[in-house]
Amino acid sequence: MKDTTNTDRVFKALGDPTRRKLLDLLCERNGQTLNELCEHLAMARQSATQHLGILEAANLVSTTKRGREKLHFINPVPLHEVYERWVRKFEVQRLSLLHQLKTELEGE
């Protein structure tokens, strides 16, 4: 395995629709068990486990055991960091484009 940065892991994790769905499910109700999450996915439990493992490696999900069950909790911090450190700077471009468009429209 290559040495991957945190940012790398987060973006990689978000690159899969199943994993985004898992985050969506946890956003609706936090602390769900593996089985509960599986009910909403069209795949084997073991596959879901792998996806959750990737989310956990990216620090987007953390877990605890309660008896024989495993509870999953969402961690929004890495998402926020990625936004702050990476996505935000493209906002500058976007706003300048909007400004440009606006002044062009006014010139007509």
To the nearest whole angstrom, how small is the minimum distance from the Cβ of residue 58 to a copy of itself? 11
- Residue closer to a copy of itself by CB (options 48, 61) is 61
Q: Which of 51, 10, 63 is nearest to 40 (CA)?
A: 51
Tell me if 15 contacts a copy of itself by CB under 8 A: yes
Where is 54: in which H helix or E strand? helix 45-57
Residues 6+ apart with CB under 8 A from 9: 54, 57, 58, 59
- Residue closer to a copy of itself by CB (options 45, 88) is 88
- Residue closer to a copy of itself by CB (options 48, 60) is 60
Tell me if 46 contacts DNA by CB under 7 A: yes
The string of DSSP codes covering 59-71 is TSEEEEEETTEEE
Pick from 34, 57, 79, 82: which binds DNA (CB under 7 A)?
A: 34
